[in-house]
Chains A and B, each alone.
Chain A
Amino acid sequence: MKRILVAAGLLAFAAAGALAEPATETSAPSSFMLDNGLQVVVVPDHRAPVVTHMVWYKVGAVDEAPGKSGIAHLFEHVMFKETRNIGPEEFTSIVQRSGGQLNAFTSWDYTAYFERVHKDQLGKMMELEAERMVNLIINDDPEGPFISERDVVKEERRQRLDNNPAALLQEMVLTEFWKGHPYEITVIGLMDEVNALTPQDGLDFYREYYSPENAILVVAGDVTEEGVRALAEQHYGPLQPTGEAHDQRKWQPVAPLAETKLITHSDPKVRQPVWSRYYLGTSFNRDPERALALEVGLEVLGGGLTSRLYQTLVEEQKVAINVATFAWTTLHDEGPAVIYGTPVDGVSLEDLDAAVMAEIEKILAEGFTEDEVRRARNKLAATAIYQTDSQSAMANHYGANLALGFTLEEIASYPDEVRAVTPDEALAAVRAVFGADQNYITSHLLPAEGDL
């Protein structure tokens, strides 16, 4: 998830011919607060009679108690089960019967629930989300719905991680990378800990974090601020804060890596070795200027087919099938900056490591050209324009950034900020991250012994 932001007030297109509809001035996103502390954000998009309705809670896997990994995500599943006024499994039935699509997702930093419906159904969606914000019921039958949902989540973990050697290796690396930080366990949780979660854990989590003052409502689509305000006052306005919920987040700065390490994972399913290095990067929350410069710098260094590393290692030297760099800059706390590559047959991971690092050293000594930095900036800025085509992407984008604590103004200023990054700034950011004095984790994904 790139933090790409959108300029308010899109270009109106002066169309030739009587056919074109008059260009409607797209109104900028706006925000207001209900008396109970619920923040409401409206992102107008009048192209189709459709809305995306999202509720973002300021809680995620980062906030889990020790030994309770996976509760934020399992609880998100349980939110679909039953409430005081909605029968078991009826939540999804009502939404889909209304012609709606729905789902939810959990990250380290936030949890979001969404419905996409015809605009006529917006009030009903608010009624449903308001109901489960305060009236959730968790069935405590030891063989009941909480337990079968826990089994579902275990299957989800197998499907996302345990089936996939590359995902398992990444889990090991990130655990080492964030050692001692709440991000050190992956969002879905450790199998043994998930398996021990109880209905009471779910209830405790609900009481501690779910309340209107700890949520952000995002409505994107064919709506006006006034229309959303009236519906939100009607459906969310009456909700009383529980008085128990809090927003004391467990975020903390990520400590530099104490040592340089190699983590290897071999599996009979691996047919193609992969090499990576993980360095301590930064984040937009912790250091926005540096994060922006790093994004631009990594785009030049290893952002795609035209990047320096790709051109040298894949096209000229032909030692790699692919090579790229990217950074996790959109978590609240610092994430890794990653260099990875796939060697051609006959080139070992050690050889690839040496070739890539020699090239990086050379590039960082020589510097970037004005031209390639301009292209990288433009690419990142243009992504913001292309993103306006997707209503759900826009809703996600605003919701995630607001849940992380950014303001609408900060979100809107991104394209201008990215265009202001200088070659010197981009270079300095990359040099600082990959400096010879920095520790890093190397990861090797390898076939099982004897399979080569």
Chain B
Amino acid sequence: MLKLRLISGAAAAVFLAACATPAPPPEAAPEASLDAEAETPAALALDVSVYDGDFVDIQEFTTPGGVSVWLVSEPSIPIVSVQMAWRGGSVADPEGLEGLGQAVVYGMNEGAGDLDSLGFQTAMEDLNMSFGCSNGSEWTSCSATMLSDNAAASMALVASALTAPRYDPGPFERFVREQEVSLKTRETSAGYLAWRAQSQALYPDHPFAREVSAQSLAALTPELARAHKDALMTKDRLLVTAVGAISPEDLAPLIDAAIADLPETSDVPAATPVTLPEIAAAEPVVVPLPQPQSLVRFIGPAMDRSNPDFFPAFVLNYTFGGGGFESRLVKTLRVDKGLTYGISSSIDPDPNFNVWSGGGQTKNESAGEFITGIRDEMQKFIEGGVTEAELSDAKAYLIGSYPLGFDSNAKIAGNIMSVRQDELGIDYFDRRNALIDAVTLEDVNAAAAKYLAPDRFSFFVVGEPEGLSAE
């Protein structure tokens, strides 16, 4: 399935300047030419290996600058999206400087080179492009979406942000003001309160439990953000994927120009795995919040992808709580009992955070019944397992619906980046359905007995649940 070919193409201009002359707007002028201002055209030769998959064809190549890129060409709509990701997220915030990674990404589209915040945002609007970065717990990511007509000028703007972000005082202070509002509003956010109760009860000393505080926010400075940006965004930890109406030859120089000035390497602490207790507390943790409903969340230990139980558990989760209208949690707690608008469960495949979790919301009066109902469903899986019909339905959906995840550039971009981040291999999409199909009833029922015991799950309730007392 793997074909190799060598392309010698025309040179493409490399834009090093920070978009001093924004490309003309689409309505006023023709497209920005890729060959504009090329000084000495050098033939670009790329080794592109093509993975010809059932769902997507992925072109894999290394740019002259040494960046490994996965590209899915989609010529039928005039859009290009480029994703970059670096391993290392908020867990890399130094102690006492929680929120520093957030400050780094906030400033990435708030001014670069000669452009201040307003100038940068205006340049993006002139190009009809979007660019922004995010800081998750373990990854820092940037995403740029642009019209193929002016991809070169759009990527030049991205290059200026990666090369010379300004971290001006104005936008930085605005970031701090917005964070101060978040510190206040999170105190009455049910989702946040459930997360905080969970992290304090189960892994209080792990970096995943750390969060921005008034003190850490006060300690942040633009200088710290600039330095931390250099620690997070280095060449050695960079993954790049792209989808859209562009060829490898046109894309490669744009990527190289964007990352040319990134540091080669840095020292960023890696995340370590969270270990949840095998036996959870018997009583739910209750966090008071004055509202008509209680948010109920449950969480227990699971397994990572390398564990042979992973696919059986993944298939089992469809019947348990992952299958929407077809899950037993929905059939029992929503359809039969009318207790909730929605309840779901999922397995997090993150090797550092292997958890099986889920939940839903119900009126305060029925919070106790809701929790009992969830535990009863878990118990039924242990005692009776799933039926042949349930297993066959789960496989039919999981395999049959897989193409739905590949019908847009945005979904394809997300999928190929996930495969790179989780190191699943370029052929993963084509192997995945066979892995699901191979799961037997015996496998699923063994996974149910092993992982779904109600006493493995900690429960957290936010609201004013009746019959449950706050700690």
Question: What residues of chain A have their CB less than 8 Å away from a CB belonging to chain B?
Answer: 10-13, 15-21, 23-24, 26, 45-50, 80, 89, 92-93, 96-102, 116-118, 121, 145, 147-156, 158-159, 162-163, 221, 267-272, 304-306, 311, 314-315, 321, 342, 344-345, 374-375, 377-379, 381-382, 385-386, 388-391, 419
Contact = CB atoms under 8 A, between A and B. Distances in A.
B397 A96 contact: yes
Contacts of A49: 403
Interface string B381-419: 000000000000100110111111011111000000000
B77 interface: yes
Contact of A344 (B27, B177, B290): B177
A96 B326 contact: yes
B393 A148 contact: no
Given A92-B326, A375-B125, A389-B409, A272 B50 contact: no
B79 A159 contact: no
Interface string B178-216: 101100110110100000000000000000000000000
B181 to A, nearest CB: 5
A158 B188 CA distance: 16
A381 B25 CA distance: 12
B407 A19 contact: no
Contact of B335 (A148, A156, A163): A148
A345 B406 CA distance: 46
Contacts of B185: 271-272
B272 interface: no
Interface string B105-132: 0000000000001100110011010000
A10 B122 contact: no
**Closest 5 interchain pairs by CB?**
A99-B400, A151-B338, A148-B338, A92-B325, A382-B128
B137 interface: no
Interface stretch (B218-226, B247-255, B450-458): B247-255
Contact of A47 (B28, B76, B188, B334): B76
Nearest to A10: B77
A118 to B, nearest CB: 5
Given A311-B118, A321-B181, A378-B26, A19 B247 contact: yes
A149 to B, nearest CB: 7
B428 interface: no
Nearest to A271: B184
Interface in B311-331: 323-326, 331
B73 interface: yes
A50 B407 contact: yes
B7 A17 contact: yes
B128 A378 contact: yes
Contact of B75 (A15, A100, A155, A311): A15
A311 B116 CA distance: 13
Contact of B245 (A13, A93, A271, A345): A13
Contact of B27 (A270, A315, A378, A391): A378
A379 B128 contact: yes
Q: How large is the interface on B (under 10, 10 to 19, 20 to 34, 35 or more residues)?
A: 35 or more
Contacts of B400: 97-100, 117-118, 121
B66 interface: no
A99 B397 contact: yes
Contacts, number: 226
Contact of B331 (A89, A151, A155): A89
B237 interface: no
8 contacts: A49-B403, A99-B404, A100-B401, A148-B337, A159-B361, A385-B79, A388-B79, A419-B27
B9 A378 contact: no
Contacts of B73: 15, 19-21
A257 to B, nearest CB: 31
Nearest to B25: A378
Given A155-B362, A158-B361, A314-B174, A382 B147 contact: yes
Given A100-B401, A155-B340, A389 B27 contact: no
Interface string B154-189: 000000000000000010001001101100110110
Contacts of B125: 306, 375, 378-379
Contact of A163 (B147, B190, B336, B403): B190
A311 B8 CA distance: 48
B396 A101 contact: no
Nearest to A14: B75
B296 to A, nearest CB: 12
Nearest to A93: B326
B399 to A, nearest CB: 7
Nearest to B74: A47
| Most B Cβ at <10 Å: residue of A15, A46, A268, A375 | A15
Given A150-B338, A377-B27, A378-B125, 12 more contacts: A13-B75, A17-B248, A21-B75, A47-B407, A99-B397, A153-B341, A155-B340, A155-B341, A156-B341, A162-B293, A271-B188, A272-B185
B328 to A, nearest CB: 12
B118 A306 contact: yes
Nearest to B318: A96
Nearest to B364: A158
A390 B291 CA distance: 36
| Most B Cβ at <10 Å: residue of A116, A156, A158, A304 | A158
B148 A13 contact: yes
Interface string B355-395: 00000011100000000000000000000000000000100
| Most A Cβ at <10 Å: residue of B187, B289, B326 | B326
B206 to A, nearest CB: 27
Contacts of A13: 75-76, 78, 148, 245
Contact of A374 (B25, B59, B190, B324): B25
Nearest to A316: B170
B271 interface: no
Contact of B396 (A98, A148, A306, A386): A98
Nearest to B397: A96
Contacts of A151: 337-339
B292 interface: yes
Contacts of A389: 77, 79, 408-410
Contacts of A117: 400-401, 404
Contacts of B184: 271-272
Nearest to B340: A155
A99 B399 contact: yes
A48 to B, nearest CB: 4
A163 B407 CA distance: 35
A221 B407 contact: yes
A321 B178 contact: yes
B81 to A, nearest CB: 9
Contacts of A102: 325
